[in-house]
Amino acid sequence: MTDSLTEAVYGVMHNAASRAIAPRYQSLNAADIVEKASDDLVTIADKESEVILAEGLARILPEAAIVGEEAAHADPAILDRLSSDLCWIIDPLDGTNNFAAGKPPFGVLIALSQGGETIGGWIYDVLSGRFCHARLGEGAYVNGERITARTTGHTPPIAAVSVLFADPNRRAALLSGITPHYTMVDIPRCAAEQYPRLALGVNDLSVFERTLAWDHAAGVLFLNEAGGKAAREDGSAYRVDDGRRGLIAAANPALWDDLAKRMAAL
Protein backbone atom coordinates (compact mmCIF):
# COMPACT_ATOMS: atom_id res chain seq x y z
CA MET A 1 0.00 0.00 0.00
CA THR A 2 1.23 3.49 -0.77
CA ASP A 3 -0.96 5.63 1.47
CA SER A 4 -3.40 5.58 4.34
CA LEU A 5 -6.40 6.28 2.10
CA THR A 6 -5.65 3.26 -0.05
CA GLU A 7 -5.19 1.10 3.04
CA ALA A 8 -8.57 2.22 4.34
CA VAL A 9 -10.34 1.66 1.01
CA TYR A 10 -8.78 -1.76 0.66
CA GLY A 11 -10.08 -2.70 4.10
CA VAL A 12 -13.62 -1.68 3.19
CA MET A 13 -13.50 -3.56 -0.12
CA HIS A 14 -12.09 -6.69 1.47
CA ASN A 15 -14.76 -6.55 4.17
CA ALA A 16 -17.58 -6.29 1.63
CA ALA A 17 -16.12 -9.07 -0.50
CA SER A 18 -15.63 -11.45 2.39
CA ARG A 19 -19.01 -10.80 3.99
CA ALA A 20 -21.38 -10.27 1.06
CA ILE A 21 -19.82 -11.70 -2.09
CA ALA A 22 -17.50 -14.66 -1.47
CA PRO A 23 -19.95 -16.63 0.72
CA ARG A 24 -22.59 -16.48 -2.03
CA TYR A 25 -20.36 -17.44 -4.93
CA GLN A 26 -21.88 -20.52 -6.60
CA SER A 27 -24.45 -20.60 -3.78
CA LEU A 28 -27.20 -18.28 -5.06
CA ASN A 29 -30.82 -19.34 -5.09
CA ALA A 30 -33.17 -18.31 -7.90
CA ALA A 31 -34.79 -15.80 -5.57
CA ASP A 32 -31.38 -14.15 -5.02
CA ILE A 33 -31.13 -13.02 -8.68
CA VAL A 34 -33.30 -10.33 -10.30
CA GLU A 35 -33.22 -9.02 -13.88
CA LYS A 36 -33.31 -5.24 -13.46
CA ALA A 37 -33.09 -4.71 -17.24
CA SER A 38 -32.59 -6.85 -20.32
CA ASP A 39 -29.38 -8.86 -19.86
CA ASP A 40 -28.58 -6.87 -16.71
CA LEU A 41 -28.81 -8.75 -13.42
CA VAL A 42 -28.59 -7.80 -9.78
CA THR A 43 -28.13 -10.24 -6.91
CA ILE A 44 -28.46 -10.15 -3.16
CA ALA A 45 -24.66 -9.97 -3.06
CA ASP A 46 -24.66 -6.71 -5.08
CA LYS A 47 -27.14 -5.12 -2.71
CA GLU A 48 -25.49 -6.21 0.51
CA SER A 49 -22.02 -5.32 -0.76
CA GLU A 50 -23.16 -1.81 -1.66
CA VAL A 51 -24.51 -1.21 1.84
CA ILE A 52 -21.25 -2.36 3.44
CA LEU A 53 -19.15 -0.30 1.04
CA ALA A 54 -21.23 2.86 1.41
CA GLU A 55 -21.12 2.66 5.19
CA GLY A 56 -17.37 2.04 5.24
CA LEU A 57 -16.48 4.75 2.75
CA ALA A 58 -18.66 7.26 4.59
CA ARG A 59 -16.52 6.68 7.66
CA ILE A 60 -13.32 7.34 5.69
CA LEU A 61 -14.48 10.64 4.12
CA PRO A 62 -17.73 11.77 5.73
CA GLU A 63 -17.76 14.92 3.60
CA ALA A 64 -17.91 12.99 0.30
CA ALA A 65 -21.15 12.27 -1.56
CA ILE A 66 -21.82 8.64 -2.47
CA VAL A 67 -23.09 7.23 -5.75
CA GLY A 68 -23.69 3.48 -5.74
CA GLU A 69 -24.84 1.55 -8.79
CA GLU A 70 -27.86 0.00 -7.12
CA ALA A 71 -28.88 3.17 -5.30
CA ALA A 72 -28.71 5.09 -8.59
CA HIS A 73 -30.77 2.43 -10.33
CA ALA A 74 -33.49 2.88 -7.69
CA ASP A 75 -33.24 6.70 -7.79
CA PRO A 76 -31.59 8.20 -10.89
CA ALA A 77 -31.50 11.63 -9.20
CA ILE A 78 -28.54 10.32 -7.22
CA LEU A 79 -26.45 10.71 -10.38
CA ASP A 80 -26.51 14.47 -9.83
CA ARG A 81 -24.00 13.86 -7.02
CA LEU A 82 -21.32 12.93 -9.56
CA SER A 83 -20.44 16.61 -9.94
CA SER A 84 -19.90 17.03 -6.19
CA ASP A 85 -16.68 18.43 -4.79
CA LEU A 86 -15.89 14.93 -3.52
CA CYS A 87 -17.79 11.78 -4.46
CA TRP A 88 -17.33 8.07 -3.83
CA ILE A 89 -18.47 5.96 -6.79
CA ILE A 90 -19.31 2.33 -6.03
CA ASP A 91 -19.72 -0.74 -8.19
CA PRO A 92 -20.46 -3.27 -5.46
CA LEU A 93 -20.12 -6.32 -7.71
CA ASP A 94 -18.81 -5.76 -11.21
CA GLY A 95 -19.42 -8.72 -13.50
CA THR A 96 -22.73 -9.64 -11.91
CA ASN A 97 -23.83 -11.78 -14.86
CA ASN A 98 -20.68 -13.89 -14.46
CA PHE A 99 -21.16 -14.11 -10.70
CA ALA A 100 -24.80 -15.16 -11.09
CA ALA A 101 -23.70 -17.87 -13.52
CA GLY A 102 -21.17 -19.15 -11.00
CA LYS A 103 -18.08 -18.23 -12.99
CA PRO A 104 -15.35 -15.58 -12.99
CA PRO A 105 -14.41 -12.83 -13.54
CA PHE A 106 -16.05 -10.45 -11.10
CA GLY A 107 -14.80 -7.83 -8.70
CA VAL A 108 -15.41 -4.64 -6.77
CA LEU A 109 -14.74 -1.14 -8.13
CA ILE A 110 -14.40 2.05 -6.11
CA ALA A 111 -13.52 5.50 -7.42
CA LEU A 112 -13.16 8.90 -5.78
CA SER A 113 -13.91 11.96 -7.89
CA GLN A 114 -13.50 15.68 -7.34
CA GLY A 115 -15.69 18.01 -9.35
CA GLY A 116 -16.28 15.28 -11.94
CA GLU A 117 -12.61 14.25 -12.31
CA THR A 118 -11.47 10.89 -10.96
CA ILE A 119 -8.66 11.31 -8.44
CA GLY A 120 -8.53 7.78 -7.02
CA GLY A 121 -9.43 4.31 -8.26
CA TRP A 122 -9.38 0.88 -6.61
CA ILE A 123 -10.09 -2.50 -8.25
CA TYR A 124 -10.40 -5.71 -6.20
CA ASP A 125 -10.63 -9.21 -7.67
CA VAL A 126 -12.58 -11.21 -5.12
CA LEU A 127 -11.34 -14.68 -6.10
CA SER A 128 -7.64 -13.99 -6.64
CA GLY A 129 -7.25 -11.11 -4.20
CA ARG A 130 -5.53 -9.00 -6.87
CA PHE A 131 -5.72 -5.35 -5.83
CA CYS A 132 -5.12 -2.60 -8.37
CA HIS A 133 -5.11 1.04 -7.44
CA ALA A 134 -4.14 4.48 -8.69
CA ARG A 135 -4.11 8.04 -7.42
CA LEU A 136 -4.10 10.95 -9.86
CA GLY A 137 -0.51 11.87 -10.69
CA GLU A 138 0.93 9.10 -8.50
CA GLY A 139 1.10 6.07 -10.80
CA ALA A 140 -0.65 2.70 -10.92
CA TYR A 141 -0.07 -0.26 -8.64
CA VAL A 142 -0.91 -3.97 -8.52
CA ASN A 143 -0.66 -5.59 -5.11
CA GLY A 144 1.46 -2.68 -3.95
CA GLU A 145 3.97 -2.80 -6.82
CA ARG A 146 4.10 0.09 -9.27
CA ILE A 147 3.48 -1.04 -12.84
CA THR A 148 3.90 0.31 -16.35
CA ALA A 149 1.35 -0.72 -18.96
CA ARG A 150 2.68 -3.10 -21.59
CA THR A 151 1.35 -4.41 -24.88
CA THR A 152 0.85 -8.05 -25.75
CA GLY A 153 3.45 -7.83 -28.53
CA HIS A 154 0.97 -9.64 -30.77
CA THR A 155 0.60 -8.76 -34.45
CA PRO A 156 -2.09 -7.70 -35.20
CA PRO A 157 -2.89 -6.24 -31.77
CA ILE A 158 -5.45 -7.99 -29.57
CA ALA A 159 -8.76 -6.16 -29.19
CA ALA A 160 -11.77 -6.81 -26.95
CA VAL A 161 -14.71 -4.76 -28.19
CA SER A 162 -17.84 -4.33 -26.08
CA VAL A 163 -20.79 -3.67 -28.35
CA LEU A 164 -23.51 -5.14 -26.13
CA PHE A 165 -25.13 -1.76 -25.57
CA ALA A 166 -24.64 -0.30 -29.07
CA ASP A 167 -27.59 0.09 -31.39
CA PRO A 168 -27.56 -2.44 -34.27
CA ASN A 169 -26.27 -0.02 -36.92
CA ARG A 170 -23.40 1.24 -34.77
CA ARG A 171 -22.59 -2.31 -33.68
CA ALA A 172 -22.28 -3.42 -37.29
CA ALA A 173 -20.16 -0.40 -38.22
CA LEU A 174 -17.83 -0.87 -35.26
CA LEU A 175 -17.24 -4.52 -35.97
CA SER A 176 -16.77 -4.10 -39.70
CA GLY A 177 -14.35 -1.21 -39.18
CA ILE A 178 -12.30 -2.85 -36.45
CA THR A 179 -12.37 -6.61 -36.96
CA PRO A 180 -10.16 -6.77 -40.09
CA HIS A 181 -7.31 -4.90 -38.38
CA TYR A 182 -7.07 -6.69 -35.04
CA THR A 183 -7.10 -10.09 -33.40
CA MET A 184 -10.52 -10.10 -31.76
CA VAL A 185 -11.12 -11.79 -28.41
CA ASP A 186 -14.18 -12.11 -26.20
CA ILE A 187 -14.87 -9.46 -23.60
CA PRO A 188 -14.92 -10.61 -19.97
CA ARG A 189 -18.12 -8.64 -19.24
CA CYS A 190 -16.29 -7.19 -16.26
CA ALA A 191 -14.48 -3.85 -16.25
CA ALA A 192 -12.67 -4.92 -13.08
CA GLU A 193 -10.97 -7.53 -15.26
CA GLN A 194 -10.75 -5.70 -18.59
CA TYR A 195 -8.73 -2.70 -17.40
CA PRO A 196 -6.06 -4.85 -15.73
CA ARG A 197 -5.86 -6.92 -18.92
CA LEU A 198 -4.98 -3.77 -20.85
CA ALA A 199 -2.27 -2.76 -18.40
CA LEU A 200 -0.78 -6.22 -17.86
CA GLY A 201 -0.16 -7.34 -21.43
CA VAL A 202 -3.21 -9.56 -21.92
CA ASN A 203 -5.16 -7.29 -24.30
CA ASP A 204 -3.99 -4.29 -26.32
CA LEU A 205 -7.23 -2.42 -26.96
CA SER A 206 -10.84 -2.16 -25.88
CA VAL A 207 -13.85 -0.21 -27.06
CA PHE A 208 -16.73 0.45 -24.68
CA GLU A 209 -20.13 1.77 -25.72
CA ARG A 210 -21.76 2.24 -22.31
CA THR A 211 -19.49 4.22 -19.99
CA LEU A 212 -21.21 4.44 -16.62
CA ALA A 213 -19.09 5.96 -13.88
CA TRP A 214 -19.14 2.94 -11.57
CA ASP A 215 -17.90 0.71 -14.39
CA HIS A 216 -15.14 2.94 -15.77
CA ALA A 217 -13.93 5.67 -13.42
CA ALA A 218 -11.48 3.49 -11.50
CA GLY A 219 -10.21 1.60 -14.54
CA VAL A 220 -9.69 4.67 -16.72
CA LEU A 221 -7.55 6.30 -14.03
CA PHE A 222 -5.62 3.07 -13.39
CA LEU A 223 -4.80 2.57 -17.08
CA ASN A 224 -3.84 6.20 -17.67
CA GLU A 225 -1.63 6.29 -14.58
CA ALA A 226 0.07 3.10 -15.82
CA GLY A 227 1.00 4.86 -19.08
CA GLY A 228 -1.76 3.48 -21.25
CA LYS A 229 -4.54 5.64 -22.60
CA ALA A 230 -8.27 5.68 -22.01
CA ALA A 231 -10.31 8.58 -23.38
CA ARG A 232 -13.44 9.50 -25.27
CA GLU A 233 -13.44 8.76 -28.98
CA ASP A 234 -12.69 12.43 -29.74
CA GLY A 235 -9.67 12.32 -27.42
CA SER A 236 -11.28 14.25 -24.56
CA ALA A 237 -10.81 13.08 -21.01
CA TYR A 238 -13.30 10.76 -19.36
CA ARG A 239 -15.33 12.50 -16.67
CA VAL A 240 -17.69 10.77 -14.27
CA ASP A 241 -20.40 13.41 -14.77
CA ASP A 242 -20.34 13.12 -18.58
CA GLY A 243 -23.19 10.95 -19.81
CA ARG A 244 -21.87 10.45 -23.33
CA ARG A 245 -21.36 7.00 -24.80
CA GLY A 246 -18.14 5.73 -26.32
CA LEU A 247 -14.70 5.14 -24.85
CA ILE A 248 -11.45 3.76 -26.26
CA ALA A 249 -8.82 2.19 -24.01
CA ALA A 250 -5.38 1.01 -25.07
CA ALA A 251 -2.14 -0.27 -23.62
CA ASN A 252 -0.27 2.73 -25.06
CA PRO A 253 -1.12 6.05 -26.74
CA ALA A 254 0.05 4.92 -30.20
CA LEU A 255 -2.39 2.01 -30.23
CA TRP A 256 -5.11 4.37 -29.05
CA ASP A 257 -4.38 6.82 -31.86
CA ASP A 258 -4.51 4.11 -34.54
CA LEU A 259 -7.86 2.79 -33.38
CA ALA A 260 -9.33 6.27 -32.91
CA LYS A 261 -8.46 7.14 -36.52
CA ARG A 262 -10.18 3.98 -37.77
CA MET A 263 -13.27 4.70 -35.71
CA ALA A 264 -13.41 8.32 -36.84
CA ALA A 265 -13.58 7.09 -40.41
CA LEU A 266 -16.59 4.83 -39.84
Q: Is 136 annotated as a binding residue?
A: no
Number of other residues whose CB lies within 10 A of the CB of residue 70: 20
DSSP lists the bridge partners of residue 229 as 250
Residue 139 half-sphere exposure toward CB, CA atoms < 13 A? 10
In whole angstroms, what is the distance from residue 170 CA to residue 163 CA?
A: 8
Q: Is 40 annotated as a binding residue?
A: no
Number of other residues whose CB lies within 10 A of the CB of residue 116: 17
Q: Is 215 annotated as a binding residue?
A: yes
In whole angstroms, what is the distance from residue 134 CA to residue 219 CA?
A: 9
Distance of CA 259 to the CA centre of its chain: 20
Judging by DSSP bridges, how do beta strands 229-231 and 205-208 pair with one another? unpaired
3-state helix, strand and coil shares in percent for the chain, rounded to the nearest 5? 40, 25, 35
Taking only Cα atoms into account, the Rg of the chain, rounded to an integer number of angstroms, comes to: 17
Q: Is 241 annotated as a binding residue?
A: no
Q: Is 209 annotated as a binding residue?
A: no
Which distant-in-sequence residues (6+ apart) come within 8 Å of 203 by Cβ? Answer: 152, 158, 159, 160, 185, 194, 197, 251
DSSP lists the bridge partners of residue 110 as 90, 122
| Planar angle of CA 204, 208, 213, nearest 5 degrees | 115
In whole angstroms, what is the distance from residue 19 CA to residue 48 CA?
A: 9
The DSSP secondary-structure symbol of 166 reads S
The answer to whether 222 and 121 are in contact (CB under 8 A) is yes
Binding region for Mg(2+): 69, 91, 93-94, 215
Binding region: 69, 91, 93-94, 215
